[in-house]
Amino acid sequence: MAVELNHTIIHSRDNRESAAFLAHILALEVGPAWGPFVPVDTSNGVTLDFATVPAESIVMQHYAFLVSDEEFDAAFARLKARGVTYYADPHLKQPNEINHHHGGRGVYFLDPSGHGMEIITRPYTFE
């Protein structure tokens, strides 16, 4: 069997708020709570399990999502409609800009718990 990432746990101040936020931006569904987790499934079978933890124990993580051009346009429109600050870079130094790395488009933003989220239309290649 090939090794595949099946799920990961994302620490959040409020698991429902964070799951709903990301699901809304990416047009995904929030699944039913399972124990302390609120899941959001991605189309490649990876489940993001949001878990509520004390805010002081959250360490920023980075999550990148590969989407089509059409999905990018829709997600970007939802970010702007919610008034979410977005950036062209992971260091959050270029606000209200997108990037065009690797022949595509990309944008960074923070979720309600401060995790760095990224939406890209082309996978990164380093040749």
User: Which stretches of the chain drop beneath a pLDDT of 50?
Assistant: none
What is the CATH code for 7-53+60-120? 3.10.180.10
Q: What pTM, to 2 d.p., does this model score?
A: 0.94
The DSSP result for the chain, as a single string, is ------EEEEEESSHHHHHHHHHHHHT--BPPPBTTEEEEE-TTS-EEEEEE--GGG----EEEEE--HHHHHHHHHHHHHTT--EESSTTS-SBT--B-GGGS-EEEEE-TT--EEEEESS-----
Q: Domain limits of the chain?
A: 7-53+60-120
Q: Note the pLDDT tens digit of each residue in 105-124.
A: 999 999 999 999 999 999 98
